């Protein structure tokens, strides 16, 4: 028995109506989605840390989520793990005609264009005949907002709805920031208006990151990690001076942060 076959057997046992685990038996497709998302982020965290043992463990946990879905589907008679694997094999072969077929691509850019054209054909084939196809079809709502925004804007760009150069998007960011500042000038603040303008500003920032070839989700994750590292440095600087962050004013906090920032850059 292969390790994968054993994993499938373990999953079937966990779901067994008589001797399985009560928690596992209670789960359905919807109830395990939050766990799947959590496991995917734990994989990403292990990758960012470069921790190979953790990567192995977290990828195993993510694979278990797929096996869990497959077992539930097998019990209801809709599909099983083999059907999932066969589906992805067929899809990869279909989307790589330059590898598995007659077609030959001359660059990564032309290969990407072929990939997207094939995906568009697949989306059109899945669409309800009563609904007109859209370039924005099948961008999942459950994606993190930054990632979904980038995907939506990338789809729009493929049909020509895009700024020709990145500096035009910088101008758009400035325009949206000015509109947010105008909303903030109202007294009292109209939170609905501010909310809308903040969304427009974030959308423009995501567009700029896409133009610059930067993944906004990853950039923000890296920015969060950098802020956390420097803020912990701030706390260390204050502790060495016998000070508490909650008992000093903002100017002292900012000075300590700048000191931590300089030290972080130096290292």
**Is the per-residue pLDDT at 115 higher than 90?**
no
Does the pTM surpass 0.95? The reply is no
For 147, the token pair is 């990632």
User: Which residues, including other chains, have CB under 8 Å from residue 97's CB and lie 6 or more apart?
Assistant: 103, 114, 118
| Per-residue pLDDT band at 130 (split at 50, 70, 90) | low
**Is the per-residue pLDDT at 127 higher than 70?**
no
175-205 core/surface letters (b: 16 or more CB in 10 A; e: else): ebeebbeebeeeeeeeeeeeeebbebbbbbb
If one counts every other C-beta atom within 10 angstroms of the C-beta of residue 225, the result is: 13
**Is the per-residue pLDDT at 210 higher than 70?**
yes
For 95, the token pair is 């989307």
pLDDT at 105: 64
75-93 core/surface letters (b: 16 or more CB in 10 A; e: else): eeeeeebeeeeeeeeeeee
Contact 148, 156 (CB under 8 A): no
**Residues above pLDDT 90, as percent of the chain:** 66
Q: State how far the Cα of 141 lies from the Cα of 104, in Å rounded to an integer.
A: 35
Q: State how far the Cα of 101 lies from the Cα of 113, in Å rounded to an integer.
A: 16
For 108, the token pair is 């990564």
Q: State how far the Cα of 215 lies from the Cα of 46, in Å rounded to an integer.
A: 18
Inter-helix orientation angle 216-240/191-211, to 10°: 110
Whether residue 131 has a cis bond before it, omega within 30° of 0? no
pLDDT per residue as tens digits for the range 21-45:
999 999 999 999 989 989 998 998 8
pLDDT at 124: 67
pLDDT at 126: 67
């Amino acid at each position: 028995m292969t390790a994968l076959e054993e994993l499938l057997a373990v999953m079937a046992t966990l779901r067994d109506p008589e001797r399985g685990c009560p928690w596992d038996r209670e789960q359905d497709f919807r109830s395990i989605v939050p766990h799947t998302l959590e496991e995917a982020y734990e994989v990403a965290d292990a990758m960012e840390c470069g921790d190979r043992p953790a990567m192995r463990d977290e990828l195993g946990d993510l694979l278990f989520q797929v096996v869990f879905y497959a077992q539930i589907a097998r019990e209801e008679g809709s599909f099983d793990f083999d059907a999932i694997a066969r589906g992805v094999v067929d899809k990869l072969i279909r989307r790589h005609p330059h590898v598995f077929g007659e077609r030959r691509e001359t660059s990564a850019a032309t290969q990407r264009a072929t990939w997207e054209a094939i995906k568009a054909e697949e989306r059109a084939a899945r669409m309800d005949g009563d609904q007109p196809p859209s370039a924005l079809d099948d961008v999942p709502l459950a994606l993190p907002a930054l990632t979904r925004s980038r995907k939506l804007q990338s789809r729009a760009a493929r049909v020509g709805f895009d700024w020709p150069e990145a500096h035009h998007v910088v101008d758009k960011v400035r325009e949206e920031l000015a509109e947010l500042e105008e909303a903030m000038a109202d007294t009292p603040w109209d939170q609905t208006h501010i909310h809308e303008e903040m969304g427009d500003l974030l959308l423009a920032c995501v567009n700029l990151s896409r133009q610059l070839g930067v993944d906004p989700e990853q950039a923000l994750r890296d920015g969060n990690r950098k802020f956390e590292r420097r803020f912990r440095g701030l706390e260390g600087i204050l502790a060495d001076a016998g000070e508490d962050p909650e008992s000093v004013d903002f100017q002292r906090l900012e000075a300590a942060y700048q000191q931590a920032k300089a030290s972080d850059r130096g290292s």
